[in-house]
Amino acid sequence: MRGFVLNTVRVRDEDLIVRILTSKEVLTLYRFYGARHSYINVGYHIDFIVEETPKATIKRLRNVTQLPYDFMFDLQKMLDFKSFVTLLNNHLRDVSKIDGFYYNLLKEISEKISKRDSKRLLVESYVKLLEKEGRLHKENTCFLCDTEIEGKAALARAFLPAHEKCIMSEGFEREKLDLLFNEKKTLLFDDFEINRLWKIINLGF
């Protein structure tokens, strides 16, 4: 079985509770510490076995093998990817059964990020997630005052559009947002704007 490590919690010295996203479910497993055990961290893509024990309340994580990334030694890309995975874990906090979209999204990111600017790729991926969940607001209407936005549109958490004055934030040109929301492309944004979009994402999915 394969999955992405969403979260780890240390228990009993070196043992771990590990939350893993697979293509069908989110698993919470117990991993016993051992000298020959490989290191596990948030964002890792792993191959593993789930072991059931009759008296235990939680299944065990066994035979873990880390599946290597091309960007493993690019610290900034690893940090950005880990941040995205942590946000996704919080978003899926109460989920067990799940659509394969989320696993495939992380797999797509991990395969492309070595050749892309990490924040641009993650912004585009986040828009895909919003669209999948029916939360991508493409209309040019302020979510606070429910009137049309003329000129630049500011974005709140979850990329909700608003007037600049309504949320006291600098807006983005409509042409750039249209390309992002409709074609999932960040080509028209400069690096400063990408950093602003990334900060909005980090407010929470």
SS (H, E, C) 138-204: CCCECCCCCCECCCCEEECHHHCEECHHHHCCCCECHHHHHHHHHHCCCCCCCHHHHHHHHHHHCCC
Q: Where in the chain is the domain with CATH 2.40.50.140?
A: 1-108
What is the distance between the alpha carbons of residues 33 and 54, in angstroms, rounded to a whole number? Answer: 20
What is the structure's pLDDT at 39?
80
Residues of the chain falling short of pLDDT 50: 35
Tell whether domain 1-108 is in CATH 2.40.50.140: yes
Rounded to an integer, what distance in angstroms lies between the CA atom of residue 137 and that of residue 161?
Answer: 7
User: Which pLDDT tens digit goes with each residue over 129-166?
Assistant: 999 999 999 999 999 999 999 999 999 999 999 999 99
pTM: 0.93
pLDDT number for residue 36: 59
